[in-house]
Amino acid sequence: MNVDLATPVILDNPVEWSIAVQELEVGVCYRRLVSGPVTQLNGDVEIAVGLGLFSQQRIHAPAAIDPESDATILQKCNDLENIFRFHSDELIPTRHTAMDAVVGCIRLISKLRLVAKPSAERDQMATIRQLTSNDIPECVSLGLEAFRPVYSSMEERYGKDLFDRLRPDWESTQSEMIESLCLADDRKSFVAVTDDSVSGFVVAKPDGATGLADVDMVAVHPDQQRSGLGATLIECSLDWLRQSGMVYAQAFTRDFSGHEPARIAFEKVGFTSMPMQPLPLYMKLGSMEPSVERSPNIRRIAEADVAACVRFGLESFRPVFASFERRHGADVFPRMFPEWENSQAEYMESACTSTDKETWVYEKGGAVSGFMVLTTNDQMLGGIELLAVDPDKQGHGVGTALNAFGLDRLREAGMVYAIVSTANDPGHAPARRSYEKVGFIPMPIQWNLLIAKL
């Protein structure tokens, strides 16, 4: 719904509800809602795909809707959703993919469901407006309550020992994050207000250079969850992002029960899982012996090594980014990884020269052919932040030797766990095999990254 987001969207008075005439083209899909209050929704709700054909089915709303018969609209929503779920293969592709059309229609259906809520529910619905600094205390308090079951579920999956190390003092950290995001100048936040109290909020960040936006955080008070308020807040932020010229929006969730409400809300407004997902791995170190004897060819990095490490590091990551491009497609990839060579080179140089990290190189015959960057923290979590092997030397045990050495170093530093991030794409297959060879396994909770075309 295209609205002026500088003005609060009135949602608490069903008599004042109206939906402007709008035509949104998503592929060859369009819909038309005739303006009027919910109690007098005149005209048709038409869905047509291809050359006006979609299984020869058109759905018509009645000329007038009695407020006591809102279930009629809801039934039309269910009919529409069934058509698009079970006949998507009949879509006639034109300028966009068939999936674009389906996503557009599901987005429409979620809006119709919002309109079709029973009168008693509509009376309790929230007003959506832009966040002000006066809302921050309520947002922090609400956010903590909303995320409490999330962290409880997370602790159950990780186990107390690992959870306490990954999320020490989570309440303070979460409070600081909420306040920081809501007040950030490069982001826009909206709040839902019910009975003069903040009942939810959403934070979004546009990127004018790439057209790829982030929905950073959405939180709804536990008493309001599963009511559709989360999806309404997300859709509000997406409308603002569309007006800001964004083409895609991405969001980050995880695959455990604590994130289920957020996942459902994102899916309601058209988000789907990305084709490439991060794959964090871990292992408990304890007093285990390294899997291979420490290599005499490994030493600390010297300033003279940095340029060579960056050079072959870029080449080692080239198939990874090529895999990303194949997975994400030619439109999304450059938005997610603009000028990836420059950014990757800067990142590797910064990591290799950081005084807060340990960087080690593998040298043989006077030439450096691999390097790794190690991290440690006060929670006794060690990390292999970066590992790269010269493509010409891959398959000769350099990566395995560096991994074994790195784990030994982390044990010496008193680390209890080691963590490394990889991904599930083919380009990361060699790295995954190398990590699995020395004992790494997938983390109990994995990422589920989502994306929506706006």
Do 389 and 287 sit in the same domain of this protein?
yes
Containing H/E element for 381?
strand 381-389
The residues, any chain, with a CB within 8 Å of residue 127's CB and separated by 6 or more, are 8, 9, 10, 11, 12, 192, 193, 194
Do 213 and 354 sit in the same domain of this protein?
no
Q: For residues 346 and 35, what is the distance between their CA atoms, to the nearest angstrom?
A: 53
Q: For residues 317 and 299, what is the distance between their CA atoms, to the nearest angstrom?
A: 23
pTM beyond 0.75: no
Token pair listed for 70: 């809102």
Residue 2 lies in a domain: no
Q: What is the DSSP string of 232-281?
A: HHHHHHHHHHHHTT--EEEEEEESSGGGHHHHHHHHHTT-EE-SS-EEEE
Residue 453 lies in a domain: no
Residue 237: what pLDDT?
Answer: 92
Residue 260: what pLDDT?
Answer: 86
Residue 209 lies in a domain: yes
Residue 289: what pLDDT?
Answer: 55
The residues, any chain, with a CB within 8 Å of residue 34's CB and separated by 6 or more, are 21, 41, 42, 43, 44
Do 298 and 398 sit in the same domain of this protein?
yes
Q: For residues 34 and 41, what is the distance between their CA atoms, to the nearest angstrom?
A: 7
Do 96 and 133 sit in the same domain of this protein?
no
Which residues in the chain land under pLDDT 70? 1-125, 287-294
Q: Which of 247, 273, 299 is the last residue of a domain?
A: 273
Residue 312 lies in a domain: yes
Residue 286: what pLDDT?
Answer: 75
Q: For residues 31 and 8, what is the distance between their CA atoms, to the nearest angstrom?
A: 25
Tell me how many domains the chain contains: 3
Residue 1 lies in a domain: no
Do 247 and 106 sit in the same domain of this protein?
no
Residue 353 lies in a domain: yes
Do 138 and 267 sit in the same domain of this protein?
yes
Residue 91: what pLDDT?
Answer: 35
CATH at 262: 3.40.630.30
Q: Which of 88, 121, 154 is the last residue of a domain?
A: 121
Q: Which of 121, 137, 159 is the last residue of a domain?
A: 121
Do 322 and 215 sit in the same domain of this protein?
no
Containing H/E element for 152?
helix 136-158
Residue 242 lies in a domain: yes
Going across the sheet that includes 381-389, the strands are 298-300, 358-364, 367-375, 381-389, 417-423, 278-284, 441-442
Q: For residues 252 and 9, what is the distance between their CA atoms, to the nearest angstrom?
A: 26
Selection from 383, 385, 382 nearest residue 371 by Cα:
385
The CA–CA distances, whole Å, from 98 to 27, 85, 271 equal 7, 12, 15
Token pair listed for 67: 């407020």
Do 82 and 212 sit in the same domain of this protein?
no
CB neighbourhood size of 296 (10 A): 9
Q: For residues 286 and 306, what is the distance between their CA atoms, to the nearest angstrom?
A: 32
Selection from 181, 187, 155, 185 nearest residue 168 by Cα:
155
Do 130 and 74 sit in the same domain of this protein?
no
Q: How does DSSP classify residue 391? A: G
List phi, psi (to 5°) of 132: -120, 165
Helices (H), 379-418: 398-412
Do 246 and 285 sit in the same domain of this protein?
no
Residue 288: what pLDDT?
Answer: 54
Do 168 and 146 sit in the same domain of this protein?
yes
Q: How far apart are the first and last CA of the chain?
A: 12
Residue 34: what pLDDT?
Answer: 27
Domain limits for position 88:
14-121
Q: For residues 14 and 36, what is the distance between their CA atoms, to the nearest angstrom?
A: 11
3-class secondary structure per residue, 154-215: HHHHHCHHHHHHHCCCHHHHHHHHHHHHHHCCCCEEEEEEECCEEEEEEEEECCCCCCEEEE
- Cα radius of gyration rounded to whole Å, the chain: 26
Do 227 and 84 sit in the same domain of this protein?
no
Residue 108 lies in a domain: yes
CB neighbourhood size of 265 (10 A): 27
Q: How does DSSP classify residue 287? A: T
